[in-house]
Amino acid sequence: MGHLPAMQRRTLIAAATLLSAPALAQQSRPATPAPAPASIDRAALARVEAYLNGLRTLKARFLQVAQNGASAEGTALISRPGRMRFDYNPPEPMLLVASGGQVMMYDRDLRQPSTVPASSTPLGLLLRPEIRLSGDITVTGTERSGGFLRVGLHRTGAPQEGRLTLAFQEQPMELRQWTVLDAQGRETRVTLYEVETGVRLDNKLFDFNDPTFMEQEGLRRAG
């Protein structure tokens, strides 16, 4: 992630990560006016809903790139409903885990955890037991290009909290990328590769309320 000082790198990761952008955006200036309405393919949305609701586990490598060019890599785990985990590769010390309706951001070097409600994060949508791209979720448009389907959305009535774009490979349907645009116009993109679905994931990887969780993470980092 370049040659930034460690604390500045941590700040960029924590501020740019897709799980915390809306929580920060709530304290930012209002978003710029929404773009003109785009076309929406309802049949494509139905396919996306069916795919997401059928998704139980996912494991992938990820590349996160912020608008300022800062980047980081790691491993992403999703266990639906309710659980998600992002392990950043060294030297980045950040670990993000979603479980029990909360998202924990943990700095392994500083040994400092902080939590926000999963419902206040853009990817909280993917953790819901039943995903519906309507009602409290507003779809702003669908677009196809290069074999990918992109779906833009935000929480209904609160676009200032952040806008999320999900990108799916269509044949076969597979989640491959997401992008968050926060209230200050900053964009962060995460691309998935080496995607595996239907894998067995130990629930202990997500249970940060377990007293032994931090101890095990310390051993994992040391190893």
CATH number at residue 146: 2.50.20.10
Q: What is the mean pLDDT of residues 65-87?
A: 92
Identify whether 28 is part of a domain.
no
Whole-angstrom distance, CA of residue 204 vs CA of residue 217: 11
pLDDT reported for residue 26 = 35
Reported as a single tens digit per residue, the pLDDT across 194-223 is 999 999 999 999 988 877 777 666 545 544
Average pLDDT, the chain: 81
Residue 219 Cα distances to 107, 195, 212, angstroms: 14, 26, 11
Q: What is the mean pLDDT of residues 150-175?
A: 89
pLDDT reported for residue 132 = 94
**Residue 87 in 3-state DSSP?**
strand
Q: Which helix (H) or strand (E) holds 121?
A: none
pLDDT reported for residue 109 = 82
Reported as a single tens digit per residue, the pLDDT across 121-155 is 777 888 899 999 999 999 999 999 988 999 999 88
pLDDT reported for residue 220 = 59
Whole-angstrom distance, CA of residue 158 vs CA of residue 23: 12
Edge-to-edge order in the sheet of strand 83-88 = 112-117, 102-107, 94-99, 83-88, 71-79, 57-66, 187-197, 173-181, 163-170, 148-155, 137-145
Angle at 97 between CA 214 and CA 178, to 5 degrees: 155
Identify whether 70 is part of a domain.
yes
**Tokens 């645009």 label which residue?**
181
Identify whether 15 is part of a domain.
yes
pLDDT reported for residue 157 = 82
Identify whether 201 is part of a domain.
yes
Identify whether 153 is part of a domain.
yes
| Side-chain half-sphere CA neighbours of 19 within 13 A | 27
Identify whether 31 is part of a domain.
no
Using an 8 Å Cβ cutoff, are 140 and 166 in contact? no
User: Rounded to two decimals, what is the model's pTM?
Assistant: 0.80
User: Does the pLDDT at position 184 exceed 60?
Assistant: yes
Number of domains in the chain: 1
Chain centroid to CA 74: 13
Q: What is the mean pLDDT of residues 109-116?
A: 84
Q: At residue 25, what is the residue type?
A: A
Nearest to 124 by CA among 82, 74, 154: 82
| 163-170/173-181 β-pairing | antiparallel
pLDDT reported for residue 189 = 93
End-to-end CA, the chain:
22
Identify whether 133 is part of a domain.
yes
Its domain, for residue 112, covers: 6-23+39-222
Identify whether 158 is part of a domain.
yes
Q: At residue 223, what is the residue type?
A: G
